[in-house]
């Protein structure tokens, strides 16, 4: 009888111990989708402005996805100016980039130049599709042509240095006006009938003007 009592006591203790100390199942957080939703495009002073995006003066954009997580890419001004991109080299994942410093290098023909990071933070992921098909950054710069995701712990401060909301369209107009003025000095035909530069015009201008355009607009 005493043996049975000891056995039952042991079973009760083991069962209680398991129920009390068993490992807890922790639900996994949902993984963020690699495909971002299509932006809502608004017309402002004749320019297509994606809602919720902010722009760096060096013609890269940032789209916040959470308090610290953002996606970044190049804007339509940069895309149209180059016209065709052969290769895009992006700073490696897990590297820290500073706002206004090199994020990527664009290569088109014999021309290469850098585009800067719109915010400061750690590179979390690079869009493999745009690396494999660089033309995607030209065809769809605000959606499938995004370049990278960044963990930006100081995003709120960084945003103070960006073009946002009602500032965006006037800044786009100013950039276009400056470019057309520079092109008009050498060849008015480089501007189309609608007053916009010819796509790929960066590769069609003399080397000295090209260097000036890259320095002035992409802050190289």
Question: What pLDDT score does 13 carry?
Answer: 46
CA–CA separation, 56 and 147 (whole Å): 15
Specify whether the CB–CB gap between 94 and 66 falls below 8 A.
no
pLDDT in tens, 204-218: 999 999 999 999 999
How confident is residue 77, by pLDDT bands cut at 50, 70 and 90?
very high
Task: Tell me if 204 sits within 8 A of 108, measured CB to CB.
Answer: no
How far apart are the C-alpha atoms of 203 and 57, rounded to whole Å? 21
By the 8 A CB rule, do 158 and 119 touch? yes
pLDDT grade for 45, boundaries at 50, 70 and 90: confident
Task: Give the burial class of 190: count Cβ atoms within 10 A of its Cβ; 0-12 exposed, 13-18 middle, 19 or more buried.
Answer: middle
| DSSP H or E run through 213 | helix 207-218
CA atoms within 13 A on the CB side of 147: 28
Q: Give residue 96's pLDDT band: very low, low, confident or very high (50, 70, 90).
A: very high
**Do residues 70 and 62 touch, judged by C-beta distance below 8 A?**
yes
pTM to 2 decimal places: 0.82
Average pLDDT, the chain: 86
User: From CA 142, how far away is CA 144, in angstroms rounded?
Assistant: 7
Where do the domains of the chain lie?
A: 49-218
Residue 149 is predicted with a pLDDT of: 98
Nearest to 146 by CA among 32, 30, 37: 37
Q: What per-residue confidence (pLDDT) applies to 90?
A: 98
Q: What is the pLDDT of residues 107-135, one digit of tens each?
A: 999 999 999 999 999 999 999 999 999 99
Report the Cα–Cα distance between both ends of the chain, in Å, rounded. Answer: 89
pLDDT at 192: 66
DSSP code of 113?
Answer: E
Please write the tens of the pLDDT for every residue from 173-187.
999 999 999 998 887
- If phi > 0 it is left, if psi is from -120 to 50 it is alpha, else beta; for residue 38 that is beta
Residue 84 is predicted with a pLDDT of 94
5 pLDDT higher than 80: no
Task: For residue range 129-168, list pLDDT tens digits in order.
Answer: 999 999 999 999 999 999 999 999 999 999 999 999 999 9
pLDDT, mean of residues 95-100: 98
| 49-218 CATH pick, 3.40.605.10, 2.40.50.100, 2.60.120.10, 3.40.50.970 | 2.40.50.100
Show the CA angle centred on residue 88, arms to residues 43 and 154, nearest 5°.
65
CA atoms within 13 A on the CB side of 141: 23
User: Tens of pLDDT along 7-39?
Assistant: 344 444 444 444 444 433 333 333 344 567 899
């Amino acid at each position: 009888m005493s043996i049975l009592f000891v056995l039952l006591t042991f079973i009760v203790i083991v069962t209680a111990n398991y129920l009390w100390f068993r490992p807890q199942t922790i639900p996994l957080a949902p993984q963020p989708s690699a495909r971002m939703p299509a932006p809502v495009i608004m017309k402002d002073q004749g320019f297509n402005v994606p809602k919720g995006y902010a722009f760096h003066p060096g013609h890269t954009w940032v789209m916040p996805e959470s308090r610290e997580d953002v996606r970044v890419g190049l804007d339509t001004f940069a895309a149209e100016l180059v016209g065709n991109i052969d290769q895009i080299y992006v700073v490696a994942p897990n590297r820290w980039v500073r706002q206004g410093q090199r994020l990527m290098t664009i290569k088109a023909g014999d021309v290469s130049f850098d585009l800067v990071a719109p915010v400061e933070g750690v590179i979390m992921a690079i869009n493999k599709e745009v690396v494999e098909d660089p033309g995607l950054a030209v065809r769809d710069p605000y959606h499938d042509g995004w370049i990278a995701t960044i963990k930006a712990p100081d995003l709120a401060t960084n945003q103070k240095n960006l073009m946002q909301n009602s500032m965006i369209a006037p800044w786009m107009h100013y950039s276009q006006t400056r470019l057309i003025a520079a092109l008009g000095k050498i060849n008015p035909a480089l501007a189309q009938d609608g007053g916009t530069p010819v796509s790929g015009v960066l590769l069609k201008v003399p080397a000295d003007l090209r260097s000036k355009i890259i320095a002035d607009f992409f802050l190289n």
